[in-house]
Structure 1
Amino acid sequence: MNHPVTVGLDGSPESLASAEWAAGEALRRRLPLRLVHVRPPAPPTPPGGVDIHHWEEKLLRENREALEQRHPGLSVTTGHITDQDPVHALLDACDAAELLVLGSRGLSGMAGFLLGSVAMATVARAAKPVVLVRAATAGAGAPGAATPAPEGREVVLGWDVRHPNDALVEFAFDAAERRGVPLRVVSAWAPAPALRYEPTAAAGGNLEPSTEELARERAETLEGLLRPWREAHPGVEVIPGVPLGSAGRELIEAAEDASLVVVGRRRTSGLHIGPRLGSVAHAVLHHVSAPVAVVPHD
């Protein structure tokens, strides 16, 4: 059974942009697309004061028809979620999907129903990958701004080589391969505090590895971990990097020309109880304009 690419709609420009992005992703994966409207427990009055049920049906019907017209061959189904907590409803929809796509505004402007705490809670708890998509920068927030931000030329993967995992890397290689673009792998790091004060030769010489030596070791580790993935995906150009600095900041800078940014989320994280987003994923979701895929892993 082919699980669909599922997208949550609330009528905001960002959710409409996410539907357009999800349609392209469904075609790339040769999967059906499912549009799901999630109604909050106390839904606001639709524009013009029309009946909420009529507005929901119209939203789904018009978007389904528009997507089918723009993407011939795409199979689109629709559905409503009205009687559940929104986060639980989206998590259920995600469980039945290949991946879930939601709209996002980062830190700018007023968020639609699915763009704020509901979206972030869903990302933090989903069992499948979740992609957050922004509307085009020039039109974000304007009526009818329903196109994703322009796609760049690379897929960017943020990878902590201290915790390698297959799910995250496979998702990134697969995304680059389907798009026919390079994969930039960013493995940022910082030396331990004690190594930031290297002893001088006059004080007895360097007793600890230098920053340059640590960077070289990090690069060698990354190359070794990438080797089997390069062999499995020979058509993907890989651009590895081990910049010295904050992982979040380095990923944000690398994402300027990205078509997709891929980050991981550990299902359990240290002493924290329950699902949560790590600091790197949180920073990327709020500051990167490209679509961001958050891939859960052990």
Structure 2
Amino acid sequence: MLPPVVAGVGGSAESLAAAEWAACEAVRRERELRLLHVRNWHPRQGDGANAAQRSLARRLVRQAEQSFRTACPEVNLHDEQVEGPATPALLKAAEEADLLVLGSRGLSGFTGFVVSLVALGVVAGTARPVVLVRVGEESEDEHLPADDGSACVRTGYRDVVLGVDVNDLCDEVLDFAFREARLRRARLRAVHVWQAPNPLALGPGEVRLVSEPQRADEWLGFLSAVLQVWHDKHPDVEVLATMAEDKLTSALVRASTGAELLVAGRRFTDRPMGPRTGPVTHAAIHHPDCHVAVVPHV
């Protein structure tokens, strides 16, 4: 059986948005949707309190289902309740998922920055892709506006944006971004950031006086060559290669404006200090105004 798309649901507006996005993604991927609610069962609470939590969990799952049945009536659905804490439970669920989808805030019925720590903990600790869904978008908001500027579900999807480092290529991230663009028939906008070399850091014999347009053209050539390999695998995906002389975090935040999905990579390693998201991933999660996919890679 193919691994499902898993959505964490907890009754908040963010988790409802995550469930709706995950349902549409499951249909696109032709996968089952698994709605997962993490409840805080405790043996000292007594049978009555725990029964009430189970009843509340069932109601929250049904509420999540109602939020997307109109948009995605054909989705194949399975739901499940598990005991918390939330972060380890979601990490375990991610191990068996094709994709894990979470609201960027509001997990487990709480609100505020404390809850975003759950999402950050999952993103930092899992080896599977995670999509963090922003609240407040309707289905038509994922699409390009109509000719008159109004929202419309019959137009094409907005761009999928991908940050590419030609010095550290990651097949997992590139494959994910191309597949997401192909599933939506959306344009893939690949962004590479370069910075002018520091003259004090150049060694003997190195070219010091290269104009900025020449440097930009050189990097654009590298980026186009990288993308061409993947475009040959996905010829139906329209690709736009863009360059920016800037910090990567700033460029990605800017590029995500008006996009449907931002794809960012995260190096997955076992560190003595524990899992970290890294500054680029951290910025991608907190600052863009679109949904964010974080794809681990070695």
TM-score category by the smaller chain?
0.7 to 0.9
How far is 1:67 from its partner? Answer: 3.4
CA contact (8 A) 1:252 1:287 kept: yes
Q: Secondary structure at the match of 1:73?
A: coil
Distance 1:57 1:14 in 2: 18
CA RMSD of aligned residues (A): 2.9
* 1:291 counterpart = 2:288: no
> Equivalences for 1:1-298 in 2 at 5 Å?
1-40=1-40, 51-82=52-83, 84-105=84-105, 111=111, 115-136=115-136, 147=138, 150-152=141-143, 153-194=158-199, 207-268=208-269, 273-298=273-298
Verify the 8 A CA contact 1:103 1:114 in the aligned structure 2: no
Q: Name stretches of at least 5 consecutive residues in structure 1 with no aligned partner.
A: 43-48, 138-146, 198-205
* CA–CA separation in structure 2 for the residues paired with 1:294 and 1:53: 31
CA shift in 2, pair 1:187/1:52, >3 Å: same
Instruction: Report if the CA contact (8 A) 2:36-2:80 is conserved.
Output: yes
Flag the 1:148–1:124 CA change in 2: closer, same or farther, 3 A. Answer: farther
- Helix, strand or coil: the match of 1:101? strand
Alpha-carbon distance in 1 for matches of 2:284, 2:195: 18
CA drift of 1:150 comes to: 2.2
Q: What code does the residue aligned with 1:151 have?
A: E
> Cα offset for 1:260?
0.7
**Counterpart position of 1:201:** none
Deviations 1:85-113, CA, capped at 9 Å, x for gaps: 3211101100111000000159xxx8369
Secondary structure at 2:141 match in 1: coil
AA matched with 1:223: S
* Counterpart AA for 1:13: A
Q: Identify if the C-alpha distance between structure 1 residues 159 and 99 changes in structure 2 by more than 3 Å, giving closer, same or farther.
A: same
| Offset at residue 119 of structure 1 (A) | 0.7
1:19 aligned partner, one-letter code = A
Cα distance, 1:66–1:253 mapped onto 2, change above 3 Å: closer
SS of equivalent residue, structure 2 residue 245: coil
Superimposed CA distance per residue, residues 199-237 of structure 1 (whole angstroms, 9 cap, x where no aligned partner):
xxxxxxx73534333222211111111111111111111
Change beyond 3 A, Cα 1:212–1:156: same
Return the TM-score normalized by structure 2: 0.83
| Contact 1:7/1:101 (8 A) holds in 2 | yes
For residues 139-198 of structure 1, the C-alpha deviation after alignment (integer angstroms, 9 at most, x for no partner) is xxxxxxxx579215100001111100111001000001110111000111222333799x
Matched residue pairs, number? 272
**Percent identity between the two aligned chains:** 40
- Give me the whole-angstrom Cα distance separating, in 2, the residues matched to 1:128 and 1:51: 33
- C-alpha distance in 2, partners of 1:69/1:166? 36
Structure 2 vs 1, CA of residues 56 and 113 (structure 1 numbering), >3 Å: closer, same or farther? farther
Contact 1:8–1:37 (CA<8 Å) still a contact in 2? Answer: yes
Higher normalized contact order (CA 8 Å, seq sep 6+, divided by chain length): 1
2:244 counterpart letter in structure 1: P
For 1:75 and 1:9, the matched residues in 2 are separated by 17
CA shift, 1:279, in A, is: 1.1
Gap change, CA 1:104 and 1:211, over 3 Å in 2: same
**Shift in Å, 1:41:** 6.6
Matched to 1:77, the amino acid is H
Structure 1 length normalisation: TM-score? 0.83
The verdict on how the C-alpha distance between 1:295 and 1:209 changes in structure 2, with shifts beyond 3 A counting, is same
